[in-house]
Amino acid sequence: MTVADTIRAISSFRWKGQMVGYWALYLSQGAFLGSFGPALQEMSSKRDSVADYNPAFALHGIAAIISAGFFGDVFIQKCMKSSLGRTSLHLLLGTLAFLLAVWYFCMPFVNQYGGHQWVTFYMVIKGFLIAISNVVINKCVAWTVSDNPQVKRRVVNSLNGAFACGTILGPLIAIAVRWTKLQLVYLYGALAAIALVGSILIYATECPQPSGEEAASLLRNEDDLISVPPTLPSPISGGVFLHVSKDLGTATINPDSYNPTSNFIVLLVMLIATLYTGIQVGLAAFLFQYVESVMPLSVGYATHAACCIIMFLFWGALAVSYALFTRYLFTKLQPLHFFLLAVLCVLSVVSMFYCQDYYGPENGIYALTISIVCYATFISPLFTGSVQTLIEFVSDDLLARVSSLLVFGCFCGESFVPVLMGFFMGSYSGSAFGPSAIVYITFVMTVMLMLVSGLLMYMGNKRIAEKIREQKLTEK
């Protein structure tokens, strides 16, 4: 498919206005995560250190998983059964998007008047808004191409792309705010503006209808259907997922027929989801502080901008690696390759330890930047690759039934790892390791990720042997 064909297909797509609104919401979420490290530095003061904000992640994650697990479907069903039907669902989503824009705008003022205590509980509101809006968005996106599962996967995965672009945009907004000597309210005002645009587009358009007409010609190309299955969390955001329903096909196989090996593989992938998401969110929040602590004094007033550029490179490497992997290597790598990627991640973290010792403070920052980029490049395919292991070795029905378990693992990682980093950064532990605790904990989590990947490699090979034996018995 040429670029002209792609543009022509998108222009003929019936629901492009709605999709732009959905992308805007995910763009704002990604920009929030990408700019959160610089923002925390601006929000901190003598009263509130950066480490004091760590409980906010736990409450945010708890609110999100409870909202997604218990309230998401309830709101959807209530809207669908109302007199307005799908229109009320879009009105709900537009309202959530507007409230999210208000939340972004009020964030600096909440921090100014209440410090980390108010911000911690204020994050609960965001967890609720994000979880419900993401569930509704994914439901609506599934309806845009309901009769074409392959294209549906590409369209749903485009939300991940919007989030990834947001994470890259976040540090750039932080640089612009600092260099123009503006206050923090302008950073969050930019995020609010993006979310507000999404809200207006959602209010102004109708909710997608799964009538078959909407599947026009959007990216309809049989040779280009490699994508992340829509029932799985986003490797970038950890929040893009769809509930198993009639729109995606329900499980029909008796769950009692699933073997222990498959169930254990699912557990391992859930652990990888937990570790991966925790590392990602933890670095989003606190890596900026570590980079700033080792930045050479010769950088001077440009220290903040230099740290933002390194965060920009981190998110860019993560997004580019993910995009290239899902486009070209998604079905070609084996469990052994994922284990080797985990080993490279460990080596990248080790190199972060010794950059200053081997290269000195001036050149060490360049070596540190290379190590961070390598780490992001190697870790990005791990989660998606683990999911591919599920697709290869576990039945599709089991995969559909356990997708919520993988989402739960993502939220557990978000709630646990950043809190752990903040705990050892501050004086809570009695040691006050400072920003160095970020690298130590990242190293420990990455080693655990390597061990789980190794066990997944072993269990995957074991499952392959079982399938070969089952096939031979069937042939006999």
Q: What is the pLDDT of residues 156-166, one digit of tens each?
A: 777 888 888 89
Average pLDDT value for the chain: 76
**Confidence class for position 467, pLDDT limits 50, 70, 90:** confident
Range of the domain at 54: 13-210+228-250
Residue 435 pLDDT: 76
The verdict on 154 and 300 lying in the same domain is no
pLDDT at 221: 34
Asked if the structure places residue 367 within a domain, the reply is: yes
| Range of weakest confidence among 25-39, 76-90, 272-286 | 76-90
**Residues 194 and 274 placed together within one structural domain of the fold:** no
Domain count, the chain: 2
Q: Is 353 part of a structural domain of the chain?
A: yes
Identify whether residues 269 and 177 lie together within a single domain.
Answer: no
Assess whether 108 and 175 both reside in one domain: yes
Higher pLDDT, 98 or 353: 98
What is the arithmetic mean of pLDDT over 70-86? 74
Of the three residues 250, 282, 306, the one that is the final residue of a domain is: 250
Give the pLDDT of residue 375: 92
Residue at 372 is within a domain: yes
239 compared with 155, residue with greater pLDDT: 155
Are 459 and 410 part of one and the same domain? yes
Work out the pLDDT band at 97, boundaries 50, 70, 90: very high
Q: Inform me whether the pLDDT recorded for 197 exceeds 60.
A: yes
Predicted confidence (pLDDT) per residue in 353-410, tens digit: 887 777 777 788 888 899 999 999 988 888 777 776 666 666 655 665 666 677 778 8
| Contact predicate 24/161, CB 8 Å | no
Q: Do the domain assignments include residue 79?
A: yes
User: Do 291 and 181 share a domain, yes or no?
Assistant: no
User: Where does a domain end: 250, 280, 299?
Assistant: 250
Nearest to 192 by CA among 106, 114, 291: 106
Residues 238 and 328 both lie in one domain? no
333 found inside a domain: yes
pLDDT of residue 196: 95
CATH of the domain at 35: 1.20.1250.20
Mean pLDDT of 107-113: 90
Which residue, of 187, 218, 250, is where some domain finishes?
Answer: 250
Q: Tell me what the mean pLDDT of segment 54-61 comes to.
A: 85
User: What is residue 96's predicted lDDT score, i.e. its pLDDT?
Assistant: 92
Residue 94 CB partners (closer than 8 Å, separation 6+): 199, 202, 203
**pLDDT of the residue at 243:** 32
**pLDDT tops 80 at residue 146:** no
Question: Do 318 and 164 contact (CB within 8 A), yes or no?
Answer: yes
Measured distance CA(259)–CA(78) in Å, rounded: 37
Which amino acid, residue 84? L
8 A C-beta contact, residue 138 and residue 300: no
Q: What per-residue confidence (pLDDT) applies to 425?
A: 78
- Tell me what the mean pLDDT of segment 62-69 comes to: 79
Model confidence, pTM: 0.83
In a domain, 5, yes or no: no
Q: Give yes or no for residue 306 having a pLDDT over 60.
A: yes
Whether the predicted pLDDT of 31 surpasses 80:
yes
- pLDDT score of 76: 74
Q: Is residue 188 a contact partner of residue 107, using CB atoms and an 8 Å limit?
A: yes
Same domain? For 239 and 346 the reply is no
Does the pLDDT value for residue 320 go beyond 80? Answer: yes
CB contact at 8 A, 466 and 259 = yes
Q: Quote the Cα angle for 445-450-452, to 5°.
A: 95
Give the pLDDT confidence score for residue 53 in this predicted structure: 84
Residues 169 and 317 in one domain: no
Q: Report the range out of 79-88, 218-227, 375-384, 422-431 with the highest average pLDDT.
A: 375-384
pLDDT > 80? residue 341: yes
297 and 421 share a domain? Answer: yes
Q: Is the pLDDT of residue 445 over 60?
A: yes
Residue 4 belongs to some domain of the structure: no
For residues 447-471, give the mean pLDDT: 80
| Lowest model confidence (mean pLDDT) among 26-30, 71-75, 261-265, 331-335 | 331-335
Lowest mean pLDDT among 53-67, 108-122, 213-227: 213-227
The whole-number pLDDT of residue 373 equals: 92
194 & 293 share domain: no
Q: What is the pLDDT of residue 101?
A: 95
273 part of a folded domain:
yes
237 & 353 share domain: no
17/39 Cα distance (integer angstroms): 31
